[in-house]
Amino acid sequence: MFSGFLTVAARCPACDLDYDFADTGDGPAIFIMLIVGLIVVSSALVVEVVYQPPYWIHAILWGPLTLLLCLAMLRPFKGVLLALQYYHKAEEGRLAKD
């Protein structure tokens, strides 16, 4: 469903569904920030309490890990949110016309 790393394709190659509705906005980013933040901060705390390594070890460990986790999770999260948006027919709020 992607034509680039995070760019959504125009149509589904399998069923020809138009992806015009697809707009997850900041959705994937906020979930990933919360989840990766929890993982990295709690891991850093445990490592500090158990091993008390010098600070440069922390910098080497948690910087790249944060980047890798975020990049690895962005695509799957965006895919899931797009699927949920489609399934629940989520769209911008509109005033009812009567």
Total site size for Zn ion, rule CB under 5 A: 4
Give every CB contact of residue 80 below 8 A, 6+ residues apart in sequence.
Answer: none
Tell me the closest approach of the beta carbon of residue 63 to Zn ion, in angstroms.
38
Which residues have C-beta within 8 Å of that of residue 22, sequence separation ≥ 6? 8, 82, 85, 86
Q: Smallest gap, in angstroms, from Cβ of residue 12 to Zn ion?
A: 3
Least Cβ distance, residue 88 to Zn ion (angstroms)? 17
Distance set, CA 96 to CA 91, 93 (Å) = 14, 9
- The residue from 6, 9, 17, 90 that contacts Zn ion (CB under 5 A) is 17
Contact status: 83 vs Zn ion (CB under 5 A): no
How many whole angstroms separate alpha carbon 54 and alpha carbon 43? Answer: 15
Contact with Zn ion (CB under 5 A): which of 9, 12, 59, 67? 12
Q: Which range in 12-20, 58-66, 70-78, 83-91 contacts Zn ion by CB under 5 A? A: 12-20
